[in-house]
Structure 1
Amino acid sequence: MELRHLKYFLAVAETRNFTQAAANCFVAQSALSQQIARLEKDVGAVLFSRTSRSVRLTAAGELLEPLARRVLADVDNAQAALDALAGLRRGRLRLGLVQTLAGSVDLVEVMADFHTRYPGVDFHVVNAPSSEMAAAVLAGGLDVAVVGLGSRQVPDGLDHRLLGSDPLVVVVPHDHDLADHDVIDLADLPESHQLIQFAEGTGLRRQVEAAFARAGVEPGRHFEVGQLYDMVQLAARGVGITVVPISSVFGAGSAAGPKGNGVGPGGARVLRLADKAAVHHVSVVYDSKRLAPAAVAFLDVVERHLKHPSV
């Protein structure tokens, strides 16, 4: 019996879902299922009752659960003491970081927490389109990347963990024909509109284009801008309209600050979309088959902040 087997067992026991448990443990679902099967062979009992609709602990599983928690707690305490004594003294973390963030995880806080825990590890941070950063992780050029991709957009061969989702909104100047609306369809936009788009290859660009496709309309004339802040400011000045995650307009460090009252910078109007699928996803992607120690430690800090945002 290995400690990782107990960790995977508890992840399934907590989530009652093999797919979610695998994501929480940063492993492929097939690998987690194999390790659970190996644990069941080691203990000589079936630990989970599985159906197409549910996963439940068997009597043997219920007996093992508190024992497994006790064992892992003792290991965590021992590891914490050793980390305090030695720590991850040196290393390098090659991190890809998307410009658009979403969800309850503050990546700045995560990076600061990681640095506090492992001050000897050097950061090498790359900002690039999500597709490029995901490809770099797959090729071994980056250890970990936070990208604007949902689960269906992550390339094959990479593991991922969804960090959050953010509704897309339309930013229009204060005198736009639709400025007095609260909710619109993209099909409501005038055919002559000019769309201020994010760079090609980014996750946000894909999600915006997918939203226009669902609406059955072409995005229209557009030009690219490399900074979300500039996109919102240009829309406010009447250069065009733009579609961005709502946190890019409202929230700490955003164009308008933490207001959220529908009025953006310069009096621009921020309109919600009726399309509930118009959402910007942010995920952390990695290759669990070749994670460096610094990357493992970083993912652990990310997981701590997901479970306890105030950490």
Structure 2
Amino acid sequence: MELRHLRYFLAVAETHSFTRAAARCYVAQSALSQQIARLEKDVGAPLFSRTSRSVRLTAAGDLLEPLARRILADVDNAQAALDALAGLRRGRLRLGLVQTMAVSFDMVEVLAEYHARHPGVDLRVSNAPSPRMAAEVLAGTLDVALVGLGARQVPEGLDHRVLGSAPLVVVVPHDHALADRETVGLAELPDSHPLIQFTRGTGLRRQVEAAFARAGVPAGEHFEVGQLHDMIRLAVHGVGVTVVPRSTVVGPGSLLGLDSADDLPRGARMLRLTDDEAVHHICAVYDGTRLAPAAAAFLGVLDQYGTDRSV
């Protein structure tokens, strides 16, 4: 079994096409088909079910796919470690970064500091729901991910560092019935303004829904938005109300760049929740058994900015 066979196999698995996989791998389709056939001979089972319209993984293919990803990720990490022997002059860091950074420092400053120390490291930042990014770290396709999960929600097999936490707050427009309140319970929210929710399956969405469940009322699905910045702005403009971490509204690295909740535009208000359990946590997750030097250096920079803080 050769590494290129595994790369060809994953290309077919991802594109569901021998033609597209060959184009992605810059080889002739006939050559790619031959290499896949050799791989199937090595494993002793067909890996793909082929029809005139589709290419799908067989049971053997389903079993091999996560193993192939991990093998190739380990090879990439080994190469990155070798590249990094001389003071991290080279290397690669694949970083997952959640939108809802409930920390007391600005992640842009962390990234800038990391780049200043290690300018030769290739930094690739991606964003996805927290559970997916944690799974990608476990699979080896991300080196480190900053996720909106509490310590008890981190998948088994991953190490974690608690970076911070922030209480959830409600942002309401100026004409909301509760706009003159300082605190509010979720059960008190009237139906006059729809709830603006974050993307389904994200760590924040789960925390918000858990808070509504504790309040004994349904969260509803009136409005779903994939950007925290847009959620807050929509609430400010009177489209509805939204529940977000306080750190996204005010403080270092906040999405609106506000120093105080009194600075919200259009007279919008930020209300504290009476539910003390409604807290958004941020953890850095990584696999300590195969941590590349570039990833270890990034965690070192994070440590200097502080861990286990609340904002």
Q: 1:89 is aligned with what amino acid?
A: R
Displacement, 1:264?
A: 2.0
Displacement, 1:260?
A: 1.9
- String of CA shifts for 1:135-181, please: whole Å, max 9, x gaps: 10011110000011110111111111010001111011101111111
Contact 1:263 1:270 in 2 (8 A): no
Q: Distance in 2 between matches of 1:291 and 1:253?
A: 27
Q: 2:236 is aligned with what amino acid?
A: A
Determine the structure 2 residue equivalent to 1:120: 120
Q: 1:92 is aligned with what amino acid?
A: R
Q: Give 3-state SS (helix, strand or coil) of 1:217's partner.
A: coil
Determine the structure 1 residue equivalent to 2:65: none
Q: Give 3-state SS (helix, strand or coil) of 2:223's partner.
A: strand
Displacement, 1:292?
A: 1.1
Q: CA RMSD in A?
A: 1.9
More divergent stretch after superposition (298-307 vs 88-97): 298-307
Q: Give 3-state SS (helix, strand or coil) of 1:156's partner.
A: coil
Q: 1:273 is aligned with what amino acid?
A: L
Q: Distance in 2 between matches of 1:278 and 1:175?
A: 25
Q: Which consecutive residues of structure 1, in runs of 5 or more, have no partner in the other structure?
A: 1-84
Structure 1 residues 223 and 287, CA, compared in 2 at 3 Å: closer, same or farther?
A: same
Displacement, 1:192?
A: 5.2
Determine the structure 2 residue equivalent to 1:294: 294
Determine the structure 1 residue equivalent to 2:167: 167
Could you state the TM-score of these two structures normalised by the residue count of structure 2?
0.68
Q: 1:102 is aligned with what amino acid?
A: A
Displacement, 1:193?
A: 4.1
Contact 1:164 1:282 in 2 (8 A): yes
Q: Within the alignment, does 1:155 sit opposite 2:155 as a pair?
A: yes
Determine the structure 2 residue equivalent to 1:225: 225
Structure 1 residues 222 and 142, CA, compared in 2 at 3 Å: closer, same or farther?
A: same
Q: Which consecutive residues of structure 2, in runs of 5 or more, have no partner in the other structure?
A: 1-84
Q: 1:151 is aligned with what amino acid?
A: A
Contact 1:102 1:164 in 2 (8 A): yes
After superposition, residues 183-222 of structure 1 pair within 5 angstroms as 183-191=183-191, 193-222=193-222
Displacement, 1:246?
A: 1.1
- String of CA shifts for 1:193-235, please: whole Å, max 9, x gaps: 4110111121111111111111111012422111111101111
Displacement, 1:122?
A: 0.5
Q: Distance in 2 between matches of 1:105 and 1:271?
A: 23
- String of CA shifts for 1:37-74, please: whole Å, max 9, x gaps: xxxxxxxxxxxxxxxxxxxxxxxxxxxxxxxxxxxxxx
Determine the structure 1 residue equivalent to 2:146: 146
Structure 1 residues 167 and 209, CA, compared in 2 at 3 Å: closer, same or farther?
A: same
Structure 1 residues 252 and 304, CA, compared in 2 at 3 Å: closer, same or farther?
A: closer
Q: 2:198 is aligned with what amino acid?
A: F
Determine the structure 1 residue equivalent to 2:34: none
Q: Give 3-state SS (helix, strand or coil) of 2:214's partner.
A: helix
- String of CA shifts for 1:101-124, please: whole Å, max 9, x gaps: 122233222211211221111101
Structure 1 residues 96 and 256, CA, compared in 2 at 3 Å: closer, same or farther?
A: closer
- String of CA shifts for 1:225-255, please: whole Å, max 9, x gaps: 1111110111112211100111211234545
Displacement, 1:263?
A: 5.4
Q: Distance in 1 between matches of 2:121 and 2:296?
A: 12
Q: 1:305 is aligned with what amino acid?
A: Y
Q: 2:194 is aligned with what amino acid?
A: Q
Displacement, 1:262?
A: 4.3
Determine the structure 1 residue equivalent to 2:134: 134
Could you state the TM-score of these two structures normalised by the residue count of structure 1?
0.68
Determine the structure 1 residue equivalent to 2:35: none
Q: Distance in 2 between matches of 1:208 and 1:248?
A: 15
Q: Distance in 2 between matches of 1:120 and 1:193?
A: 50
